[in-house]
Amino acid sequence: MSYAISPPVIPSLPIIGSDQRFPVRRIFCIGRNYAEHAREMGATVDKDTPLFFCKPADAVVTDGADVPYPQATQDLHHEVEMVLALGGGGRDIPVEQAASLIWGYGVGLDLTRRDLQAVAKAKSHPWDVAKAFDHSAPVSALRPASQVKLDADTTLTLSINGQPRQQGRLGDMVHGVAEIIAILSTLFELKAGDLIFTGTPAGVSALQRGDRFHAELAGVATLEGRVA
């Protein structure tokens, strides 16, 4: 068997303390997972119907590469989020078993073309053009789960050009990590290599060309880069 065109390269993330890389299969994201952020977007949290969307795996921006300012927007927004990397998967995973599927943790930006999202919301269109564009998912190196200890007070922060923009604590998530994995697995058969963006705290705002971002999941991972 040979391919008719060159097969696509498998996107991958660096791993802290290792020369190996983590291959990315799919990217799932949950929306409105911090009540304060839902409020700033003029939305409410519907705990019974979590909002999920996807980005293509090759939307990841890795190894500190520049993020090109995307086409077709005048309002590119940052959303800092904890990122889960799955080492296993399944369907209908019980919440008690869900955490054991997490291979590692990182921090990422769910970049959003906010103007296109506003149009999509107004017209009841899907969010793909707002969320799933090229280079829309800068992600840090991953730290293996065996080295990670998270609690409710673990902070997620983002500063732009040295100025604090977003800060949240994991205890403020509407759905915790195990719950997110369990719910997602009722909708999709999860697989090793899948990434999950776990939602953003309040404080989202616009990025400009030339901005430098510094995102941190305290004690776990750091993401630095620049909008080019």
Residues that bind Mn ion (CB under 5 A): 79, 110, 200
Q: Virtual CA dihedral for 185, 44, 213, 152, nearest 10 degrees?
A: -70
Quick one: 24 or 38, whose CB is closer to Mn ion?
A: 38
Q: Cβ of residue 44: shortest distance to Mn ion, in angstroms?
A: 16
Asked if 23 and 30 count as a contact pair (C-beta separation under 8 A), the reply is no
Q: Cβ of residue 100: shortest distance to Mn ion, in angstroms?
A: 25
Q: How many CB atoms lie within 10 A of CB 127?
A: 18
Asked if 101 and 88 count as a contact pair (C-beta separation under 8 A), the reply is yes
Count Cα neighbours of 116 within 13 Å in the Cβ-side half-sphere: 18
Quick one: 110 or 216, whose CB is closer to Mn ion?
A: 110
- How far is 9 from 216, CA to CA, in rounded Å? 28
Burial profile 62-92: b = 16 or more Cβ within 10 angstroms, e = fewer:
beeeebebbeebeebbbbbbbbbbbeebeee
Quick one: 15 or 37, whose CB is closer to Mn ion?
A: 37
- How far is 34 from 38, CA to CA, in rounded Å? 6
Q: Cβ of residue 41: shortest distance to Mn ion, in angstroms?
A: 10
Quick one: 31 or 104, whose CB is closer to Mn ion?
A: 31
Q: Cβ of residue 200: shortest distance to Mn ion, in angstroms?
A: 5
Taking CB atoms, the residue at the shortest distance from Mn ion is 110
3 state SS of 228: coil
Quick one: 79 or 211, whose CB is closer to Mn ion?
A: 79
Q: Cβ of residue 79: shortest distance to Mn ion, in angstroms?
A: 4
Q: Cβ of residue 88: shortest distance to Mn ion, in angstroms?
A: 24
Residue type, 21: R
Quick one: 24 or 173, whose CB is closer to Mn ion?
A: 173
Q: How many CB atoms lie within 10 A of CB 21?
A: 16
